[in-house]
Structure 1
């Protein structure tokens, strides 16, 4: 009994310590505001797109007012869409006086679509964004304000603001998750760099980046890690907003989150050699903590729940089921009001499934249901 209790405490210690560090970091993180630009640099904007006929026109219209037209090049990288994405994108480019092109290629996944889009860009600074969301009028300029503020900054990412068509446990869990996510990324940026970018709002200098692995790894994390490997820093810009519709149904959120968890884990584990003094505070502080968060905490968290159930059940037959009931109530409490405990438990589940899902090839993605933006 004593041995089981000590083992349970030891395993529980890992998630408690890791997330205590992150909570303290989020509370104490300081946000700095981007400098105002006197001269706006020319940028190329790459939009990987697959079956985006319901949203691509609105997205291009949004971009037409997000940055000076004469300084903006748009590359829509159409990844083998089977709907009217290509034609609608071409028509919208003309309608909104956007300079650039629509390139179409066989279905090969988001990473390759991004690589192909980048190959067609003509500017030194590239912005990667999604087709299913919106920038505000300051998003790109705020990204540029930080990206061009120092030669050692190679990439930047902005903040994602989510909204949903339904108010459910799963849409609320996303809201709670986002409430702390940006603060953690900001803290990491203050220490050195973050690689937990939001893929729908990323900007980078070509000289600082490398081509994405086309089969493994999330595009945003892989991009940031390549920049860090090349000796540059990656910064989070909370004022640069991207507004994205997120799933409110469990089946849709589960599919999206497991895919994202899998790809993020791939990027993290495949780049484990950055755990090195060679990469400064990122290699010795940020990466180890993220590795623990993604690859170790989910397994130890659920194992500790099983062990605590056994420990409490050995004291009284009622205590074990009562403990399980408490965990279920904590998860369901997120349906009443968004909170971090409910969101934490749900996302540990997604990460745990993502660990097993790494055995599958998930580089070809399916978009969420599109309803227009």
Structure 2
């Protein structure tokens, strides 16, 4: 019994230690103030799109309002949409006097759609964004300010501000998750680099990046990894906002989060050779901690739940039942009030299930239903 209790305690300590480091780092890390640029640069904006007829016009209208039209070209990389995405986008280019085009190709996944968009771009700086959200007037300028502030910064990403049509445990969990996610990315960024970008608000220098792997890895994390491999840094810009509508129903969030977890796990696993002093503090601190967070912590967390249940139940069956009830109470406490503990449990589940998906080909998926913000 003592040996089992010792083993259970040791396994349980892994998530506690890893997240203690992250929470302490998030609390003590401060976001740098936004950096202004004297003259906004010429940029290309790439929007991967699949069946976006409900939102693509609003997205293009939004871009026309937040950055000088004469300093941007917009490329909608239409990934085999079978709705009116292409027609509506072309009409929006004319309506809002935008320089841009739609390139249409067969369905092949977001990474390939992004690669195609980049290959058609004509500027040295490229912004990648989603078709189902909005920027504010500071988003792109703040990205540009940090990106151009140093020659060794190759890519930047901004912060996600979430909205939901319904107030549920799962929409609340997303809010709690976002409250700490950006702070962790800021700490990593201050230390050296973060590769946990938000794909809907990314900007990079072409000279710093390679094309994305078209079948493996999340587009945002893969982009950041390629930049870091090329000797540049990746920065998180907390003032550059992307306003996104998130699922509030469990079925929709589960599908989205497991897919995203899978792709992020892929990018982490297939770039494991960056675990090296060659990549500075990123290679010896940031990447190892993220590997622990993504692979070891979910496994240790659920294994420890099983072991604690067995341990308590071996003393008294009622103790085991009470322990399970306590964990369930922590989980569903997020329905009453958004909190990190409830969100932590939910996201460990997504990461754990994502590990089982790594062997599957998930580079093409059906997006959630699009709704205007």
Within a 5 Å distance, the mapping from 1:233-312 to structure 2 comes to 233-312=233-312
Q: How far off is 1:117 after superposition?
A: 0.2
Distance in 2, matches of 1:182 and 1:220, equals 15
Partner of 2:132: 132
Q: Distance in 2 between matches of 1:291 and 1:365?
A: 25
Match of 2:23 in 1: 23
1:345-370 per-position Cα deviation (integer Å, ceiling 9, x unaligned) = 00000000000011211000211111
Aligned residue for 1:333? Answer: 333
- Secondary structure of the residue aligned to 2:332 is helix
- What secondary structure does 1:161 align onto? strand
What is residue 55 of structure 1 aligned with on the other side? 55
Distance in 1, matches of 2:274 and 2:13, equals 25
Give every structure 1 segment of 4 or more consecutive aligned residues whose post-TM-superposition deviation is greater than 4 Å.
Answer: none
Q: Distance in 1 between matches of 2:363 and 2:255?
A: 14
Measure the CA separation in 1 of the matches of 2:372 and 2:54.
5
Give a deviation string over 1:185-233, Cα, whole Å, max 9, x none.
0000010000000000000000000000000000000000000000000
Is the Cα contact below 8 Å between 1:50 and 1:79 reproduced in 2? yes
| Alignment correspondent of 1:39 | 39
Partner of 2:143: 143
Distance in 2 (alpha carbons) for counterparts of 1:290 and 1:179: 18
Within 1, Cα distance between the matches of 2:190 and 2:164? 31
Extract unaligned runs of 5+ from structure 1.
none
What CA distance in whole angstroms lies between the structure 1 residues aligned with 2:366 and 2:146? 33
The corresponding residue for 1:99 is 99
Between the aligned partners of 2:192 and 2:231, the Cα distance in structure 1 is 11
Alpha-carbon distance in 2 for matches of 1:370, 1:212: 25
Partner Cα distance (1:105, 1:369) in 2? 21
Structure-1 residue corresponding to 2:208: 208
1:347 maps to 347
TM-score, L = length of structure 1: 0.99
Mapped to 2, the partners of 1:19 and 1:319 lie a distance apart of 27
2:252, 2:321 → 1: CA distance? 30
Count of residue correspondences? 373
**What is the TM-score with the length of structure 2 in the denominator?**
0.99
Report deviation, 1:371. Answer: 2.0
Deviations 1:32-62 (A, max 9, x none): 1122111111000000000000000000000
Aligned-partner Cα distance in 1 for 2:145–2:362: 35
Distance, in Å, in 2 between the alignment partners of 1:66 and 1:293 is: 36
Tell me which residue corresponds to 1:230. Answer: 230
Whole-angstrom CA distance in 1 between matches of 2:141 and 2:257: 30
Task: Report the CA distance between 1:11 and its aligned residue.
Answer: 0.7
Structure 1 residues 34-43 or 242-251, which shifts more? Answer: 34-43
Question: 1:165 maps to what in 2?
Answer: 165
Deviations 1:95-140 (A, max 9, x none): 0111011000000000000000000000000000000000000100
Q: Structure 2 matches for 1:182-201, cutoff 5 A?
A: 182-201=182-201
Asked whether the equivalents of residues 43 and 126 of structure 1 are also in contact (C-alpha less than 8 Å), the reply is yes
Q: Please say if residues 245 and 371 of structure 2, whose CA atoms lie closer than 8 Å, have aligned partners that are also in contact.
A: no
What residue is the counterpart of 2:76 in the other structure?
A: 76
Is contact 1:110-1:365 (8 Å) kept? no
Which position in structure 2 is the counterpart of 1:115? 115
Alignment check: 8 A CA contact 1:43 1:71 kept: yes
Contact map agreement 1:334 1:342 (CA 8 A) in 2? yes
The superposition leaves residues 312-334 of structure 1 with CA deviations (integer Å, 9 ceiling, x where unpaired) of: 11222111110000000111100
- Aligned partners of 1:41, 1:52: CA distance in 2, in Å? 28
Cα RMSD, aligned residues only = 0.5
What displacement does 1:159 show? Answer: 0.2
1:282-323 deviations in Å (ceiling 9; x for gaps): 000000000000011101100000001111112221111100
